[in-house]
Structures are given as C-alpha cells and as structure tokens.
C-alpha cells in the first residue's frame, strides 16, 4: 500500500509533476497525501487528508521533489501523519511504504538524543536517523544505507536531501522502481506512475541502494556501496489503458473489458500455459495460493483441475501458508495467483515455499512484478492495468488461465480455448444494457439491506465467496458466501423474512441440490435471487446467464461485480475507492 513518487532532473515544475503522478498512484492508498519540493528558499512541504483529485495547488519552481499517498498503518489519518516527514532542520524529507517493526525502540532513542517528532508515524524515525548520519558528515548514500540496516520489517524508503540535490532509496520486499530516460530520474512504488517519465525501468533489488541526481541514476550494492549492475526493462504499460475514456469509473471500465481480456489471454497464453503444465506434470504435489479474490480464483482453479484433468491440488491462503503447507516441499509446485504480484503475504509464502524446497510458478497480471521475478514458470494475464481497487478483470482472467492449463494437461487446449471464448460471449450478454440494468436494479434494492448470503456448490462455491467479497467491499453490506451444503449446519439460523440470498444454480450436477437449498432458504423467508441458465419457481428474482458448462465460474464473476456496483451507487459510495482499502497490499 502507499504510493511513492520522486523526481530529480531538468523540469522546473516538479510540484505539478508529483501531483499528477500521485493521482495515478492513489489506488495504493487514499486517506491522505503529501509532497515536498526543494526550492531556493528551502524545503516546501504540502500535505492534506482525503483524496488528491480535484485539489489545485500552485508550487514554486523546483527541480527535485517527492510525494506520497498514504494508507495509514501507524498513526491516525491526519495532516501531520501524512508523508513526507522531515528531520529537525528540514534538510531532508522522507517517504515510506511498509511497517518499521522496531520503530518504538528507535523513536525512544531518538527522543533521548533530543530529536523533535511531529507525527505519530513509524516512518518519521527515518528522517531523524538520516539527519544524524548527515550531521556526522557522511554522504547521503552511506547515511541511507546505514539507517536502512537499522530498520526491521518489509520497507521501502526514499530520502530527499535538499543540500546535495539527490534522492536515495532502499527497500526490502516492498517494491521501488527507477525510471530512466525523459528529462531526469524518477522513482516510484509502481511502474504505472512512471509512464511518460521514463523509457526504461530498473526494479530495485533488496540488496541495492539507488542514488538519483539531476543527470544520473546510480544503483549501488547496499552493503559495499560499490556500483551494482542493474537490469533494466522497457516500459511495458500500455498508455491507452490508463484513462477512463467515456466510462464513469474504473470499475465499470474494467468490468466491460473482461470479454476482450479473456480473448486476448486465449490468443497469447499458449506458451505460458504449456510451461505451467510441464511444471505441473513434473510435480508430485500442486499447491495453489493467493489472497482475497486471487485466493478465490485459486480455489476455483483447484476444482477445475480436479474436474477437467483429474489432477489433485490444494489451496492454501497465502497468509496461512507457513502454518499450513507441508514442512518439506521438495518435488512440490506452488502456484501463486496475484494481480499486482506485490502482495506481501504472497511473496512471503513463495519465499517460504522456496526455502522448503518447492518449485514456484505464478499466474500474474503485473509484468516484472516481484512475484513474476521470483518464479520458475509463469502465465501472464495481460489484463492491462487494473485501477479500481476491486479485482474484476484480473479475477476472471485468473480462472481462465487455470482452466486453459487444466485443459492443456488433459491434452485439449483447443477445447479449453473454445470454452473461455464461450464465457467471453456469455459475459457480453450480461453486459448488454437490459441485462446490466436488471442486475444493477437488483443491486440498488440490496442497498437497503444489512445482510446477504451467497451459496454455490462444487466449482461454483468459489463464485459464492467471490460474489460476497465483491458486494461487501464496495457496498459495505455484510455478505457471506458459503458452500450450499453447509447451509443447514449453522448459517441458516441467520435467515429472516426478506433476507436476500444469491444462489448459483447452473444446469449441471449441482442444480438439483442448489434448488433444494434455495427452497430451504425460501421456507425461512429468504428472498431468492437465482443465477443460472434456467429459471425456477423458487427464485424470487432471476439473473439469466448463457450455459457455458465448466467455464461458468468465469461468467459467475459478473453478477457479484454488478450487484455490488448497483448497491454502492445507491448507497452513495465511490465504487473505485472503497473505505479502508487499497490496491496492492504490501504490508502484513
Ligand atoms: C478484492 C481484491 C483483493 C485482492 C487481494 C490480492 O476485490 O482486490 O482481495 O484480490 O488483495 O491482491 P493481488 O491479486 O494483487 O495479490
């Protein structure tokens, strides 16, 4: 979480450039924001709580600066706690992403040495620690390297020194990317923010330190401070992806992109899928992992592997991986699913899996992400930038990727490709104005309810989990997804007259049992919203979907996305930036 952007170069309008970059980074954290620029009159720091969009500021000329969008971890959402933080003499400014686990001890020591703190954050210790090193006449690079060594946890810091006119940065796990080309040197938490500023990108490694000046970007070994050979890659983000175009919000845009994304995946993923199938064939055990929606997609993948090619696999949530996966994983393949490729729990799970002897694979959207760079095989989703905090197109693409792999393992890639294209067509039907309006209208009526239950069975059980997740995170309605068979074992006690119940009832082997479960809910007063290809008298409302067989979970992603959207609008919430959330969860 937290967006970071820094610039040093020839441009004199750094303040405006930082604000523009922070707007693109806002999905990483949007409770407050701030920037610092070094002007002829000293450091100018500007901060505010809330969203940066719409705020108009005029900044004095400057050629170096850095900015931050915050997702609070330590310290409330206040102006003082927004980054950047400065040292006692306002010579340096610091932005930080992560959690400094030993900040309390470091802060006590700094207070005893007479430093004045202005915020409640863990981050501010960095400013005062660097201040001490600079006061001892150490160069900026050495100062930042020494200070970074003191910090415990997964952190990324960027330090601006107004005196030397340089930025220095270091990281552990949490990403930092350096942009080369353009009119100077740039650094950001996210490649997306470097669009238009750079032609090539360097992904800073954990053992490195970056020092950026107006005419240079040097990557050093953090331990020795000797030059380190960075690997640079061309900017991969498609600029056409970035804007809203004629869409009212990114959620609508990204939901609408799903048919295109799925067809593109079918056309482009053949080699990736073959590589993943080869790894899976060689493995004596396959474990899928991920968080949130990606975890739901992983669970759907486990069902699909079982049903399409009789491959046994298990799903372990990434945050539980070290506790639940086997101690010895030699011969195992661990496949992580992730949109951002930067989720800390996922990266930690993969590092643990490697230590336990597993081979690693990923189904990932963000190119050159930390996850992609860790694994032995990968399927790239190519879904384009996902800017809405809710996972939508990445979720359906993840299921499609695993489905293609399952078909490939069964020696039937072409059949898998046809099934995914069928799903793309069925999604188009759901996005037709009438169908979409019908689902949105049901969603807007849900806005008046406090609770909602979603059930599915077999491969549709993950669809129930995902629909509930989408609805709750964007509308703040309490929505629970569960396996239909579990209904009678406790949850049905919560059903009251009028309680909305979303029921996935496709025409397959789960249908009869699903209709029975719907009847049980209705007998207790539940208001049944059926999703499937065939209506039934037990449904109070019906969301019709085209029959697509095993590809149903891809199509079943859409009702939850549109119901959540309808409820969110009716409740007056921002569909792209739900409260308390941020894209790319880079803290524990
Ligand atoms: C839900 C959502 C989250 C993410 C989760 C994993 O809409 O967006 O649950 O799916 O934080 O993120 P990635 O896929 O980036 O690892």
Pocket test for ligand 1, best of 29, 173, 289, 294 (most atoms within 8 A of CB): 294
Q: Distance, CA 292 to ligand 1 centroid (Å)?
A: 5
Pocket test for ligand 1, best of 339, 575, 587 (most atoms within 8 A of CB): 339
The token pair that represents 109 in the structure block: 């020591």
Residue from 94, 82, 96 nearest 31 by CA: 82
Of 28-42, 299-313, 328-342, 542-556, give the lowest mean pLDDT range.
28-42
pLDDT number for residue 55: 61
Contacts of 488 (CB under 8 A, 6+ apart): 520
pLDDT number for residue 474: 97
The token pair that represents 180 in the structure block: 């080369």
Q: pTM score, two decimals?
A: 0.92
pLDDT number for residue 66: 97
Q: Distance, CA 295 to ligand 1 centroid (Å)?
A: 8
**Is pLDDT of 56 > 80?**
no
The rounded mean pLDDT for the chain is: 94
Count CB-CB contacts under 10 A for residue 55.
12
**Is pLDDT of 73 > 90?**
no
DSSP 393: H
pLDDT in tens, 175-192: 999 998 878 999 999 888
Beta bridge partners of 211: 168, 218
Residue nearest to atom 7 of ligand 1 (CA): 390
- CA R_g for the chain: 25
Helix axes 413-431, 433-446, angle to 10 degrees: 70
Query: Domains of the chain: which residue ranges?
Result: 3-237, 243-428, 432-574
With the C-alpha atoms ordered 271, 275, 280, 286, is the resulting torsion angle positive or negative?
negative
**Is pLDDT of 263 > 50?**
yes
pLDDT in tens, 540-586: 999 999 999 999 999 999 999 999 999 999 999 999 999 988 887 87
> Nearest 5 degrees, angle CA 252-CA 31-CA 256?
10
Output 105 or 232, whichever has higher pLDDT.
105
| Active-site residue, 393 included | no
SS3 85: strand
* 225, 141 contact by CB (below 8 A): yes
294 CB less than 6 Å from ligand 1?
A: yes
* 63, 12 contact by CB (below 8 A): yes
Helix then strand then coil, in percent of the chain rounded to 5, is 40, 25, 35
Residue nearest to atom 3 of ligand 1 (CA): 292
391 CB less than 6 Å from ligand 1?
A: yes
Q: Distance, CA 577 to ligand 1 centroid (Å)?
A: 13
CA dist 143 and 146 (Å) reads: 5
Looking at the CA of residue 339, tell me the nearest atom of ligand 1.
Answer: 14
Write the DSSP string, 486-509: GGGGTGGGG--TT-EEEEE--SST
SS3 380: strand
339 CB less than 6 Å from ligand 1?
A: yes
Contacts of 302 (CB under 8 A, 6+ apart): 288, 313, 314, 315
CA dist 395 and 399 (Å) reads: 7
| Active-site residue, 583 included | yes
Q: Which CATH architecture has domain 3-237?
A: 4-Layer Sandwich (3.60)
The token pair that represents 482 in the structure block: 């569960």
Q: What's the mean pLDDT in 42-65?
A: 85
pLDDT number for residue 333: 98
Question: Under the phi-then-psi rule, with left for phi > 0, alpha for psi from -120 to 50, and beta for the rest, what region is 543?
Answer: beta
Q: Please give the sequence-ordered ranges of beta strands (E in DSSP) within 50-91, or none if there are none.
A: 64-70, 85-86
HSE-CB of 43 using CA atoms within 13 angstroms: 26
* 115, 105 contact by CB (below 8 A): no
Q: Which helix (H) or strand (E) holds 451?
A: strand 451-456
CA dist 261 and 394 (Å) reads: 9
Count CB-CB contacts under 10 A for residue 398.
31
Q: Distance, CA 299 to ligand 1 centroid (Å)?
A: 14
Looking at the CA of residue 584, tell me the nearest atom of ligand 1.
Answer: 15
CA dist 542 and 554 (Å) reads: 18
SS3 321: helix
Q: How confident is the model at residue 53 (pLDDT cuts 50, 70, 90)?
A: low
Q: Distance, CA 338 to ligand 1 centroid (Å)?
A: 7
SS3 29: coil
pLDDT in tens, 363-394: 999 999 999 999 999 999 999 999 999 999 99
- Name the phi and psi angles at 207, rounded to 5: -90, 10
Q: What's the mean pLDDT in 167-174?
A: 96
pLDDT in tens, 195-243: 888 989 999 999 999 999 998 999 999 999 999 988 888 887 554 566 8
pLDDT number for residue 587: 77
CATH number given to 243-428: 3.40.50.10490
In the CATH hierarchy, which fold is given to the domain comprising 432-574?
Rossmann fold (3.40.50)
Beta bridge partners of 227: 220
With the C-alpha atoms ordered 361, 366, 367, 370, is the resulting torsion angle positive or negative?
negative
- Name the phi and psi angles at 81, rounded to 5: -85, -10
SS3 314: strand
* 13, 27 contact by CB (below 8 A): no
Q: What's the mean pLDDT in 85-92?
A: 96
Q: Scanning the structure block, which residue is given the tokens 């064939």?
A: 281
Strands 184-188 and 200-203 come out as unpaired
Q: Scanning the structure block, which residue is given the tokens 């009789």?
A: 310
Beta bridge partners of 180: 200
Q: Scanning the structure block, which residue is given the tokens 């353009």?
A: 182
Q: Which candidate in 171, 393, 470, 583 is catalytic?
A: 583
pLDDT number for residue 498: 96
Q: How confident is the model at residue 28 (pLDDT cuts 50, 70, 90)?
A: confident
Domains 243-428 and 432-574 are alike in CATH topology = yes
Q: How many residues does the chain have?
A: 588
Q: What's the mean pLDDT in 117-127?
A: 97
**Is pLDDT of 526 > 80?**
yes
């Amino acid at each position: 979480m937290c967006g970071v952007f820094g610039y040093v170069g020839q441009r004199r309008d750094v303040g405006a450039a930082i604000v523009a970059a922070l707007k693109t980074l806002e999905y990483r954290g949007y409770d407050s924001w701030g920037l610092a620029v070094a002007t002829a009159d000293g450091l100018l720091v500007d901060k505010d709580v809330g969203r940066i969009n719409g705020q108009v500021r005029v900044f004095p000329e400057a050629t170096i600066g850095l900015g931050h969008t915050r997702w609070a971890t330590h310290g409330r959402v206040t102006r003082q706690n927004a980054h950047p933080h400065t040292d006692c003499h306002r010579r340096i400014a610091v932005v930080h992403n992560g959690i400094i686990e030993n900040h309390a001890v470091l802060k006590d020591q700094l207070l005893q040495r007479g430093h004045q703190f202005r915020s409640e954050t863990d981050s501010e210790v960095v400013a005062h620690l660097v201040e001490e090193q600079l006061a001892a006449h150490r160069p900026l690079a050495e100062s930042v390297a020494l200070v970074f060594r003191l910090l415990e946890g997964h952190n990324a810091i960027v330090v601006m020194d107004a005196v030397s006119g340089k930025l220095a940065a270091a990281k552990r796990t949490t990403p930092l990317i350096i942009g080369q080309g353009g009119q100077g040197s740039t650094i950001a938490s996210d490649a997306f923010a470097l669009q238009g500023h750079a032609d090539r990108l360097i992904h800073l490694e954990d053992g490195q330190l970056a020092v950026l000046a107006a005419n240079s970007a040097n990557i050093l070994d953090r331990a020795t401070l000797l030059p380190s050979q960075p690997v640079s890659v061309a900017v991969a983000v498609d600029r056409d992806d970035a804007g809203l175009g004629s869409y009212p919000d990114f959620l609508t845009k990204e939901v609408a992109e799903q048919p295109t994304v799925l067809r593109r995946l079918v056309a482009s993923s053949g080699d990736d899928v073959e590589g993943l199938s080869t790894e899976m064939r060689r493995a004596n055990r396959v474990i899928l992992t991920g968080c949130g929606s990606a975890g739901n997609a992983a669970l759907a993948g486990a069902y699909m592997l079982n049903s399409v090619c009789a491959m046994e696999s298990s799903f372990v949530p990434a945050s539980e991986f070290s506790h639940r996966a086997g101690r010895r994983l030699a011969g195992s393949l661990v496949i992580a699913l992730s949109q951002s490729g930067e989720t800390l729990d996922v990266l930690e799970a993969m590092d643990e899996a490697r230590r336990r002897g597993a081979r690693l694979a990923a189904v990932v959207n963000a190119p050159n992400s930390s996850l992609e760079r860790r694994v032995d095989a990968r399927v790239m989703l190519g879904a384009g930038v996902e800017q809405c905090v809710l996972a939508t197109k990445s979720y359906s693409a993840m299921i499609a990727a695993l489905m293609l792999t399952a078909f490939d393992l069964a020696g039937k890639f072409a059949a898998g490709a046809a099934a995914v294209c069928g799903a793309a067509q069925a999604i188009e039907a759901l996005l037709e104005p009438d169908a979409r309006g019908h689902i949105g209208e049901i969603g807007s009526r849900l806005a008046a309810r406090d609770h909602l239950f979603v059930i599915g069975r077999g491969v549709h059980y993950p669809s129930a989990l995902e629909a509930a997740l989408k609805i709750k995170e964007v509308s703040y309605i309490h929505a629970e997804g569960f396996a239909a068979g579990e209904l009678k074992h406790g949850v049905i006690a919560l059903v009251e007259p009028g309680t909305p119940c979303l029921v996935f009832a496709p025409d397959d082997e789960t249908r009869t049992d699903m209709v029975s479960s719907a009847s049980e809910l209705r007998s207790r007063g539940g208001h049944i919203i059926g999703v499937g290809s065939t209506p039934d008298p037990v449904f109070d409302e019906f969301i019709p979907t085209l029959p697509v067989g095993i590809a149903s979970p891809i199509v079943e992603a859409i009702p939850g996305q549109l119901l959540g959207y309808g409820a969110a609008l009716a409740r007056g919430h921002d569909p792209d930036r739900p409260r308390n959330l941020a894209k790319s969860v880079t803290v524990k």
